[in-house]
Chain A
Amino acid sequence: MASLTVNGETYEIQSDPSTPILWLIRDVIGLKGTKYGCGIAVCGACTVLVGGVPQRSCEITIADINGAAITTIEGLSSDNSNPLQQAWIAYQVPQCGFCQPAQILRATQLITNGNVPTDEEINVTMNNICVCGTYSRMRAAIHAAAGG
């Protein structure tokens, strides 16, 4: 039986092995902060951390991740204490909010190890769709979270 480690908990998974991790997280494990947007790894709403690295979860299966641990938005902090979450609140980034957990997880890559990202790095890395158009606030929040 396959197992999946999400936010430090290991789950035994009996589902069809071709089920994308997105749906194991949402519908089997029941963590709903990770969203479905397109199912083809384009919009990025399903972004989670796989072994600490942001990845779109709608087209990867348990077999694809070689036992790597998953972190979802629920595992980033229990109390919104992550610097990105703090900055997202301070800059009142979300509108509808549907893409935002994934945007925050995507942004973790930019500020790890004390990195202070440039605008160009933000442009390259932040490639998830936000239909509401919160881009300028996300940019400001990322700079703030990086202390830049």
Chain B
Amino acid sequence: MGAERQKEDFFFEKKKQKDYIEPIGAEEEGMTRPTRPLILLSAARRNISKSLFASFSSEKEDSSFSRRTFLITGAAACGGLLIGLRGAHAAGKGPYQITVWLTVGTDGAVTIFCPSQEMGQGIYSGLAQIVAEELRTPWTTVQVAAGPLESVFVNPLLGAQMTAASSSVRGFFSVCLEAGAIARQMLIEAGAKAMGVKAKQCIAENGMVVVQATGQSISFGAVARAASRRTPPKSAKLYSANGYVLVGQSVARPEIPSKVNGTAIYGTDVVVPGMQYGAVLLCPTRGGTVASVGSPPSGSQVVNLGVGIAAVANTGPNCTTWAAMQAALQTKVTWNIPQGVDTETSKDILAEAITLLTTGTAIVAESVGDVQSAQAGAAKVLTLIYILPYLPHATLETPNCTASVTATSCEIWAPTQAPAAAQAAAAAASGLPLSAVTVNCVQMGGGLGRKLETDYVTYAVQTSQALGVPVQLVFPREQDFLQDQYRPMAVCQVTVGLEKNGSVVSWDFRNVSPSILYQRGLIQDGQLDTQATEGATDLPYAFPNLLVDWVRHPAAIPVGFWRSVGNSINAFAVECAIDEAAKAAKTDALAYRLAMLAGNARAIAVLNTAAAVGGWGTNQPGVARGLAYCESFGSLAAVVVTITESDNVIQLVNVACAVDCGMVINPNTATQQIEGGITQGLGSALWGQMQFKNAVAQTSNFDAYRMPLMADMPTIDITLLQTPGAAIGGLGEVGVPCLAPALANAWAALTGKRLRTLPLFPT
């Protein structure tokens, strides 16, 4: 099939999609935005097991602890921690810093500093409960705070202090166990001394140091000060996993009470004395710069950021973020538009990608056997092209940063997944050395990969430095949509050679997409961007001949890490192509996959579980199911979606998902992450995209960017599987990739129409 023909097929497919969905655009009860065609409607509510949640009601509610005060004054505390392991609390009544990981108060209250940043994924319980497990303190004594920028908080899997790649538990599990054990040992030594016995005669249990022979005990609180003065041992004995009392339990998330009463502090809730509110307005054409800046409206000041402006409201009754946003809009700015932006239009970018499929320089990511000869000898060859759009992150909290820059210092308060990168960005923007930059991490109102970036830190630092006052700089929602680093668009061509019996004899997978790593200078031309091919390589299926390669698309629209990165792109193509091959082989899509997974007990169990829970194989008239499987971040996931058709309305009624992440630390937060991944996978597959015209993003707010709402949601059934002894897998992103292919596969099963372009139903 030539490039020209493929292109035609694509546009034909698009047209068919549109034609097909028009009849079901009827308004339905419960639809809150009638201008949009309703595709999906919830049929019934999910029955959440009450027993799973019963324990939470009795949990301590954090009422004595003012999170707001702590986090704001945490600036000084975090700075102090950088001094080292001890010494921050040499005098006073505590709490006492036992190690950089935790403090213990005289009342036994333990504050654990979480090395990963909380952005909704529940890492404040996940990692803290691992530390508390070895510390042997009851969960009700534990509070959690954002870990400061600190070398021991570098994630060993990433080599950076960064919350990304679903790697927090994977990277920190052993580290957190050891951190808890070392602190426990220090408390035991201090307790033993206080009781006049030897440390080896004692154990720690329930926040107490206990003499094993006599039962004599002393509380952690009573020995916290003495423990804080001891030298941490190099290592300490770990408990056997059989004896775990917290790991594996759905302990309550410590920050939840603050999230239901408004006291949780996100970036824009930080208040610094003398702070003024500001808002950005960046060149709408990506790559453009400021040519001239007019006078700001009265009551405001404007800073030229090079790529745009920051408007800042003067102090007084009109110092509000809103006033700053208005000032930004009212300031006349002219722009230098770079050459060549006329090619940065969605349909041209796509056309170029289609051309690059055949003319581009492909870099091999994986090769097995001889695809060419196998394909030549195949009984049947399917050539399938899948197309994916650019996707914005659309975190509900827009990018923002508070900065206070003086001649010699720079302090920032940022919702960031990458505190070290934020520090480097602040240093570069201010011209100050790294050591002069203090980073205060605050919880994120969603990260999703967007808050790995440091653009918003740079702008806040520039603005504060230019005006000589602390500034809280916010991206208005429009700026968030227009100035994102999007999930790359992609065109994937899958050429599948089938034997006479329908089995796959050759699998030729080509991904054409802009490169996240190349755009950041992390790889050179000719090098493979592994982010672009993840989810396409190391597939579990037994393909005797296989070739996976990638062609870099040169489009300049900035691309970035979007929850699950390459996996959500490639899984769509892989799992749809498998489904199409199964259809060509006239074989059930589940059986077809299972046949290629012989001996892979974990994958088989995950698929069979999702199939059983999702009712695979029980189709009745008007009901269809779609299946998808994806391994990502060390975890295995399978999804079965069920859709129904009645009176010309097609509904998504259920998503069943099975996940094997090896070992589950907290079943509740694990389930939450999968629920969240499913919801995001769903919304992006159905409606998500960003179109560009001459390098200007065409969607700027939620009125034109449909997100799933309560009324859209299907029931969701999640099953967590564990494999003892297996490496721990990630959870934050693994719920996302299967949704798009499972939906497309269900749609094909129900309607006979194969949709190969995302979003499935452009709004």
A: residues with CB less than 8 A from B are: 13-16, 19-20, 22-24, 26-28, 30-40, 42-43, 45, 72-74, 76-77, 79-80, 85-86, 88-101, 104, 119-120, 122-124, 126-140, 143
Contact = CB atoms under 8 A, between A and B. Distances in A.
A133 B477 contact: no
B680 A99 contact: no
Interface in B699-738: 701-703, 707-711, 713, 715-716
B264 interface: yes
Interface string B436-460: 0000000111111000000000000
Chain B's interface: helix, strand, loop or mixed, by majority? loop
A92 B668 contact: yes
A121 to B, nearest CB: 9
Top 8 closest A-B pairs, CB basis?
A33-B262, A133-B679, A98-B445, A96-B120, A97-B259, A95-B120, A73-B262, A123-B711
Contact of A42 (B48, B257, B679, B702): B702
A22 B322 contact: yes
15 contacts: A13-B317, A32-B271, A74-B262, A77-B261, A89-B61, A92-B56, A96-B397, A96-B446, A100-B260, A119-B45, A126-B711, A131-B707, A133-B675, A133-B677, A133-B713
Interface of B: 29-30, 32, 42, 44-46, 48, 53-54, 56-57, 59, 61, 63, 119-122, 250, 252-253, 255-266, 268-269, 271, 277, 317-323, 325, 394-398, 443-448, 474, 476-477, 668, 672-673, 675-680, 701-703, 707-711, 713, 715-716
Contact of A98 (B266, B476, B715): B266
A1 B564 CA distance: 52
Contacts of B262: 31-34, 72-74, 101
Contacts of B707: 129, 131
A107 to B, nearest CB: 10
A32 B321 contact: no
A28 B550 CA distance: 53
B709 to A, nearest CB: 6
Contacts of A140: 45-46, 48
A6 B703 CA distance: 29
Contacts of A90: 53-54, 56-57
A133 to B, nearest CB: 3
B61 A38 contact: no
Contact of A35 (B30, B397, B713): B397
- Centre residue among A22, A122, A135 by max chain B CB count within 10 A: A135
A131 to B, nearest CB: 5
Contacts of B708: 133, 135
Contacts of A31: 262
Contacts of B397: 35, 37, 96, 98
A92 B256 contact: yes
B59 to A, nearest CB: 8
A137 B716 CA distance: 11
A94 B673 CA distance: 11
B261 A129 contact: no
Given A132-B676, A133-B708, 13 more contacts: A23-B322, A30-B271, A38-B701, A42-B702, A89-B59, A89-B260, A123-B711, A130-B396, A131-B394, A131-B395, A136-B46, A136-B713, A140-B46
A38 B57 CA distance: 33
Nearest to A140: B48
Given A23-B320, A131-B396, A139-B46, A33 B711 contact: no
A80 B30 contact: no
A85 B261 contact: yes
A38 B42 CA distance: 25
A89 B56 contact: yes
A97 B258 CA distance: 9
Contact of A32 (B269, B320, B444, B711): B269
A8 to B, nearest CB: 15
Contacts of A131: 394-396, 446, 448, 680, 707
A136 B261 contact: no
A114 to B, nearest CB: 20
A39 B642 CA distance: 36
Contact of B711 (A86, A104, A124): A124
Contact of A124 (B32, B319, B716): B32
A13 B318 CA distance: 10
A19 to B, nearest CB: 6
Given A92-B53, A92-B672, A38 B477 contact: yes
Contacts of B259: 94, 97, 100-101
A92 B679 contact: no
A135 B396 contact: no
Nearest to A137: B48
B27 to A, nearest CB: 13
A28 B256 CA distance: 26
Contacts of A139: 45-46, 710
Given A33-B261, A36-B321, A96-B443, A135 B119 contact: no
Contact of A123 (B30, B59, B277): B30
Nearest to A16: B318
A60 to B, nearest CB: 12
B477 A98 contact: no
Contacts of B446: 96, 98, 131-132
Nearest to A74: B262
Given A92-B252, A124-B30, A40 B260 contact: no
B256 A94 contact: yes
B710 A133 contact: no
A89 B716 CA distance: 20
A85 B320 contact: no
A136 B264 contact: no
A120 B710 CA distance: 10
B710 A80 contact: no
A116 to B, nearest CB: 14
A31 B265 CA distance: 11
Nearest to A129: B707
- Centre residue among B252, B325, B397 by max chain A CB count within 10 A: B397
Nearest to A138: B710
B46 A19 contact: no
Given A40-B701, A89-B257, A123-B30, A33 B263 contact: yes
Nearest to B474: A36
Contacts of B48: 91, 136-137, 140
Contacts of B256: 88-89, 92-94, 97
Contact of B676 (A24, A122, A133): A133
- Centre residue among B255, B679, B710 by max chain A CB count within 10 A: B710
- Centre residue among A14, A72, A92, A93 by max chain B CB count within 10 A: A92
A140 to B, nearest CB: 5
Contacts of A98: 266, 396-397, 445-446
Given A14-B317, A131-B394, A135-B713, A88 B443 contact: no
Contacts of B257: 80, 89
B251 to A, nearest CB: 10
A77 B264 CA distance: 15
A94 to B, nearest CB: 4
Nearest to B707: A129
A7 to B, nearest CB: 11
Given A92-B56, A133-B679, A38 B260 contact: no
Contacts of A135: 679, 708-710, 713
Contacts of A43: 396, 702
Contacts of B318: 15-16, 19
Contacts of B250: 92
A136 B672 CA distance: 10
A19 B261 contact: no
A32 B708 CA distance: 26
Given A27-B277, A72-B262, A85-B260, A132 B57 contact: no
